[in-house]
Amino acid sequence: MVFHFNSNNKYYYLVILLLTFNTHSLTKALSNPNLILEEVYSWHLFKDSYGPTFSGNLSWQKYMELLERELLENGVKGLTKDFFEYERWYTSNEKNDHQWTLTIEGKQMDVASYWAYSGLTGKTGVKGKLLYYNQDTPKDLIKGKIIVFDIGGLPESFKRFSEISKHEYATEDLQQIQDNNSTSDYWYQVNYITRFAKLDEYLKDSGALGAIAILDMSPGRAEGIYTFPLIRPGIIGVPGLYVDRVSGNELRDAALKSKYANLKLLANVQNSKAYFLSGFLPGKHFGEDKDQFILLTTHTDGPNLTQENGGFGIIKIVEHLNRIPVNQRNKTILIVMDPQHFMPGRHSVDWFKLHANLSNRIVSVLGIEHLGQMEYKDFGNQFKLSGTTDKTYIYTQDNQNLINQAIYAIKQHKIGRTYVLCPDRGGQGPWTGMGNLAQKMKVPGYGISTSMSGYWSTKSGIESFSSELFMKQVDIMADLTLYLMNANSEEIQIKGP
């Protein structure tokens, strides 16, 4: 059963959700598989109704309130909030609100999205001459100009880095690997500006009036693009926009002819509070010096529904574990929910250093992210759901028992379009997502993610969510959590570097 959004069932599920919030027994009674799927759907409908969850905004606050409520009801102890403040930049996510626009000599141009944390303008925007920028453009020429630049597609060097040419296991529907690198290309382009080209550093204090990036993407795929602010905190000070390759052809021609343009980007800057949420699902040695922790972790912020919904996945895993009496749980579950995914200076606060007394008890890790996502594909200039699921990736540390257990769980739960990958063995791509904490901590562990076809857009919502896929992914990760809880250390010892 796959639940999708339509206008007739939206309010029905919101009612179910409100009943669930206010009736503790209803939540606990959801043992019927169909009712579980409806509960999961209702959570996501609620999350989606508030829009993107950027740390500190209203949507994020509502999401965190729901997560906290469910964790408490499921017996999670010692819930702790580690607060911090940061400068949050934001604008409307709706094109029709006309908060971000571009005109060239009076002609309105179609804009795909805004460049987050770039800058802002006054109500009338900024007017100036367009300048087409390339690597040979002298920096002193960009002062007082609106610069235009192309973001090319995925270069060969990055294709080799991200390519999955091998795997430990693939479901039958993925036996023939024919990855067209569309997700890697997506990732490369949205990271290009700040991560690879470092154009944020180049533009800061340059005197440029504005900047427009031409994405090598179809109009449908480029719509709603939201890029990582990434490593460097703060706001650039040069307002920026994105256009797709169709509008980009006209824009490039105008820039090469030095035409005049007006760029508007209305935005706000606000000091916001966010927090890590952490807690414990006790094992039989909870509170004792000899207790050991299995880390369940996820991000809590992102531009769309499944980026990030890992918190809901953790709740469902906790529900699985609660079926086991505390005196039979060999280890305590440490839950850490991190709000720094799409923040400027992301991961600048190291929770594990702040809580070194807890971190040094972590003996294994599971990263839970991006669950229940259906696949988007290009169809001409449109970017639409293909009718199938995104590929699921189960990442594992380098130990054959860990790998075998992941394969077994996949077969048990009959999930399709799924890989088991061990990046340390080579040719299987890099770790993606928070499962790589196992790699960093050099402990046994797993991560789950997807091919993330709609990952970097504010537009993918409840219509692209599958409760059935979500629960299969959760069931697999719950089984792997139990395996890590019961396995002896020699059985799951990982290979050294």
Residues 23 and 155 in one domain: no
Helix spans in 119-263 (H)? 156-162, 182-191, 199-203, 219-222, 245-256
User: Is residue 27 domain-resident?
Assistant: yes
CATH number of 116's domain: 3.50.30.30
Q: Is position 348 within any domain? A: yes
Residue 273, helix vs strand vs coil: strand
Tell me which residue range forms the domain holding 203: 92-165+176-266
Contact 293, 331 (CB under 8 A): yes
> Does residue 323 share a domain with residue 225?
no
Residues 297, 413: one domain? yes
Residue 432 predicted with pLDDT over 80:
yes
pLDDT (average), residues 372-390:
94
Q: Give the pLDDT band (50/70/90) at residue 257.
A: very high
pLDDT digits (tens, 9 = 90+) for 147-197: 999 998 888 777 766 668 899 999 999 865 555 567 788 888 888 888 888
Q: Where in 184-331 does DSSP place strands (E)? A: 210-215, 240-243, 260-265, 268-281, 293-299
HEC profile for 360-383?
CCEEEEEEECCCCEEEEEEECCEE
Cα separation, 2 vs 120, in Å, equals 41
Query: What are the structure tokens assigned to 193, written together?
Result: 């500006």
Judging by beta carbons within 10 Å of its beta carbon (0-12, 13-18, 19+), is residue 416 exposed, middle or buried?
Answer: middle
Looking at residues 417-438, what average pLDDT do you find? Answer: 92
Q: What angle do CA 433, 434, 438 make, to 5 degrees?
A: 125
Is 496 part of a structural domain of the chain? no
pLDDT given for residue 228 in this prediction: 75
Per-residue model confidence as pLDDT tens digits over 38-50 = 999 999 999 999 9
Domain match, 457 and 317 both: yes
Interstrand relation of 100-104 and 107-109 (parallel, antiparallel or unpaired)? antiparallel
Phi, psi values for residue 494, rounded to 5°: -95, 160
Beta-carbon contacts of residue 190 (< 8 Å; ≥ 6 apart)? 225, 226, 227, 228, 456
Q: Which helix (H) or strand (E) holds 441?
A: helix 436-441
What are residue 18's phi and psi, to 5 degrees? Answer: -65, -40
**Domain's final residue, options 215, 245, 266:** 266
pLDDT surpasses 70 at 15: no
278 and 347 together in one domain? yes
- Indicate the residue type of 153: G
Dihedral over Cα of 232, 237, 238, 243: its sign: positive
Residue 28 pLDDT? 45
Running DSSP on this structure, what letter comes out for residue 265? E
Is residue 20 predicted with pLDDT exceeding 50?
no
Residue 201 has a pLDDT of 87
What's the distance, CA 439 to chain centroid?
19
What residues have CB less than 8 Å from 494, skipping those under 6 apart? 397, 398, 399, 402, 442, 443, 444
Bigger pLDDT: 233 vs 10? 233
Nearest-CA neighbor of 442 among 360, 369, 370? Answer: 360
Q: Where would I find the H helices in 1-103?
A: 7-22, 24-28, 33-49, 58-73
Give CA angle at 372 (370, 374), nearest 5°.
100
Residues 268 and 90: their CA atoms lie apart, in Å, by 5
Mean pLDDT of 142-148: 97
Give the C-alpha distances (Å, rounded to integers) separating 442 from 329, 364, 396: 23, 9, 12
Whole-angstrom Cα distance, residue 334 to residue 321? 13
List all residues 6 or more positions away from 157 whose beta carbon is below 8 Å from its beta carbon: none
Lowest mean pLDDT among 3-7, 127-131, 369-373: 3-7
Retrieve residue 312's tokens.
């809901």
Q: What is the pTM of this model?
A: 0.93
SS3 162: helix
CATH number at residue 341: 3.40.630.10
Instruction: Decide: helix, strand or coil at residue 322.
Output: coil
Do 330 and 214 sit in the same domain of this protein? no
Residue 227 · residue 192 · CB < 8 Å = no
Q: What are 264-289's pLDDT values in tens digits?
A: 999 999 999 999 999 999 999 999 99
Domain check: are 49 and 106 in the same one? no
Q: Last residue of some domain: 203, 237, 266?
A: 266
| Average pLDDT of the segment spanning 414-442 | 93
The tokens 């390519």 sit on which residue? 163
> What pLDDT does 19 receive?
44
Kindly tell me the sign of the dihedral angle through the C-alpha atoms of 123, 127, 130, 131. Answer: negative
170 domain residue, yes or no = no
Tell me the pLDDT band of 347, cut-offs 50, 70 and 90.
Answer: confident
Number of structural domains (the chain) is 2
Residues 245 and 334 in one domain: no
Calculate the average pLDDT of the chain: 90
Say whether both 415 and 335 belong to one domain. yes
Question: H helices within 141-217, ranges in order?
Answer: 156-162, 182-191, 199-203
**The predicted structure's pLDDT at residue 497:** 60
Which of 233, 266, 299 is where one domain is finished?
A: 266
The stretch 196-210 carries a mean pLDDT of 90
Q: Are residues 81 and 99 in the same domain?
A: no
Using alpha carbons, select from 294, 370, 308 the residue that is nearest to residue 338: 308
Q: Would 422 be classed as within a structural domain? A: yes
Same domain as 361, residue 250? no
Range scoring the smallest mean pLDDT among 98-107, 224-233, 352-361, 440-449: 224-233
| Under 8 Å between Cβ of 497 and 63 | no
Say if 493 falls within a structural domain: no
In a domain, 492, yes or no: no
Residue 489: exposed, middle, or buried by beta-carbon count in 10 A (0-12, 13-18, 19+)? exposed
327 shares a domain with 212: no
Flag whether 171 is in a domain.
no
CA torsion sign, 425 to 431 to 435 to 439? positive
